[in-house]
C-alpha cells in the first residue's frame, strides 16, 4: 500500500519532468507547444458549446415534462423480463443522456435504499459500467464536425443495454436479491 501511495504522490510531477526532459533533449519548445495545445482546446470548447447547451436543455425538458416517468412505465414489462428492478429505471434512461443527472439520481437512490442494498449495488455498478452515450457523441463528433454518426449510436446503445443487463446479473450473482 505504501508503494501505491508513493507512486500516486509522485506520478504527475514525474510525468511533467519526463515531458520537459524529452522536450529539452529533442530541442522542442515545450511551453510554445503547450500554449498551442491550450489554444486548440479553447477552439474545441467553442465548437462544441452549442450542441452541449442544446443537450442540457433537452435533458431538462425531458425530466420536467414527465416523459421520463412515461418511458419508465412503458418499459416495465421489458425490464421485468430481464430482472431489472423498477427502482433503477430512471438511471437506465438518464445515464446515456446526462452524467450529472445520473449522479443526482444515484445519490437519491442510494439515500433512499442504502449503499449496501441490492438496489444500491446495482446502481453503483451501472454508474461504473455505462456511459453517457449522447453526451460523448455530442462532444467527440461535434468537436470534429461530424454530422452523420452512422452506426455509432446504435452500437453505443446496444453496449449500454448489455451493460445494464450484466450489471443486474452480476449483482444478483454476487449478492443475491
| Residue 97, in any domain of the structure | yes
pLDDT given for residue 155 in this prediction: 93
| Residue 7, in any domain of the structure | no
pLDDT given for residue 13 in this prediction: 92
**Residue 98 predicted with pLDDT over 90:** no
| Residue 35, in any domain of the structure | no
pLDDT average, residue stretch 124-153: 86
Q: What is the mean pLDDT of the chain?
A: 87
Segment among 77-86, 124-133, 143-152 with least mean pLDDT: 143-152
pLDDT given for residue 156 in this prediction: 92
| Residue 9, in any domain of the structure | no
| Residue 118, in any domain of the structure | yes
**Residue 110 predicted with pLDDT over 90:** yes
pLDDT given for residue 127 in this prediction: 92
Model's pTM, two decimal places?
Answer: 0.66
| Residue 42, in any domain of the structure | no
**Residue 31 predicted with pLDDT over 90:** no
The percent of residues in the chain predicted with pLDDT above 90, rounded, is: 29
Residue 16 · residue 102 · CB < 8 Å = no
Categorize the per-residue pLDDT at 168 as very low, low, confident or very high, splitting at 50, 70 and 90: very high
| Residue 8, in any domain of the structure | no
pLDDT given for residue 97 in this prediction: 84
| Residue 19, in any domain of the structure | no
**Residue 162 predicted with pLDDT over 90:** yes
**Total number of domains in the chain:** 1
pLDDT given for residue 140 in this prediction: 83
Which residues constitute the domain of residue 65? 48-175
Amino acid at each position: 500500500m505504501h508503494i501505491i501511495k508513493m507512486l500516486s504522490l509522485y506520478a504527475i510531477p514525474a510525468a511533467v519532468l519526463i515531458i520537459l526532459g524529452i522536450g529539452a533533449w529533442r530541442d522542442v519548445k515545450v511551453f510554445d507547444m503547450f500554449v498551442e495545445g491550450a489554444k486548440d482546446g479553447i477552439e474545441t470548447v467553442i465548437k462544441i458549446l452549442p450542441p452541449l447547451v442544446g443537450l442540457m436543455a433537452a435533458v431538462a425538458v425531458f425530466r420536467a415534462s414527465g416523459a421520463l416517468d412515461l418511458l419508465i412505465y412503458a418499459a416495465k414489462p421489458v425490464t421485468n423480463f430481464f430482472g431489472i428492478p423498477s427502482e433503477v429505471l430512471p438511471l437506465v434512461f438518464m445515464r446515456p443522456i446526462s452524467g450529472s443527472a445520473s449522479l443526482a439520481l444515484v445519490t437519491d437512490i442510494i439515500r433512499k435504499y442504502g449503499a449496501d442494498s441490492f438496489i444500491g449495488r446495482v446502481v453503483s455498478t451501472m454508474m461504473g459500467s455505462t456511459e453517457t452515450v449522447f453526451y460523448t457523441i455530442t462532444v467527440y463528433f461535434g468537436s470534429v464536425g461530424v454530422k452523420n454518426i452512422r452506426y455509432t449510436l446504435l452500437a453505443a446503445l446496444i453496449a449500454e443495454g448489455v451493460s445494464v443487463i450484466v450489471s443486474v446479473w452480476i449483482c444478483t450473482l454476487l449478492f443475491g436479491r
